[in-house]
Amino acid sequence: MNQIARIVSVIFHPLLLPTYWTILMAKVLPRGLAPFIEAQHLHLVGLMFIMTFFLPVVFFGLLKAIGLIPAMDMHHRKDRVKPFIFITLWYAIVALQMLLRDQITLNDSFMKFLIIIDVLVFLGTLFTFFFKISIHCIGMWGLVGMCLGLSFFQEDNTLLIPLVVLLLLSGIVMSSRLQLNAHTPKEIAAGSIVGLVVSVAAVFILF
């Protein structure tokens, strides 16, 4: 069971979630990636993977190689603080770089989603100063919240199946984190509540 839980935790690593969200929007709700047109979506998915997952992982690997972090899983709360600060700053830079592109504005759907993701990353880092909140759960329930919030603006049931799938996956991720003793139930619950409430509220505010 632990091996399965580890695989689940890796597949749904928080740094991969922005890429998954981009793929979901490209497949189910293409206008959610506006102003990018469908012909640009594959390039956008690749860009998100490199900027929000690959480069941060390379950076963490370098930190581990020179002994600044003891392990990539950062089991102890104190080990997470500095890397999380870096991720918060890096994600803010990514969003800023996107915004500086001539074709993207704060009114575009893609930019709004980047802002929501950045807010969740910032809150996860802020909580980590005091409490080992589950970042996996913030991320997964953040996706649930964005999908749920968007569903209120859809006249059809386009997002119903993705929402149900995300709910099931979030439950699996929560169980996996508990199975690995990576978090206490309180830390899992806190991450889930923060991710869901903040993302739903942000969708209603921004959209």
pLDDT at residue 68, rounded to an integer: 66
pLDDT at residue 52, rounded to an integer: 97
Assess contact for 113 and 206: CB atoms under 8 A. no
Show me where the domains of the chain are located. Answer: 2-206
pLDDT at residue 80, rounded to an integer: 86
Q: What is the pLDDT along the chain (207 residues), one digit of tens a residue?
A: 889 999 999 999 999 999 999 999 999 999 999 999 999 999 999 999 999 999 999 988 887 777 766 666 667 788 788 889 999 999 999 999 988 876 789 999 999 999 999 999 999 999 999 999 999 999 999 999 999 999 999 888 899 999 999 999 999 999 999 999 989 999 999 999 999 999 999 999 999
pLDDT at residue 73, rounded to an integer: 65
Query: Within 13 A of 148's CA, how many CA atoms are on the CB side?
Result: 18
pLDDT at residue 126, rounded to an integer: 96
Cβ neighbours of residue 47 closer than 8 Å, sequence gap 6 or more = none
pLDDT at residue 45, rounded to an integer: 97
Rounded to two decimals, the pTM is 0.93
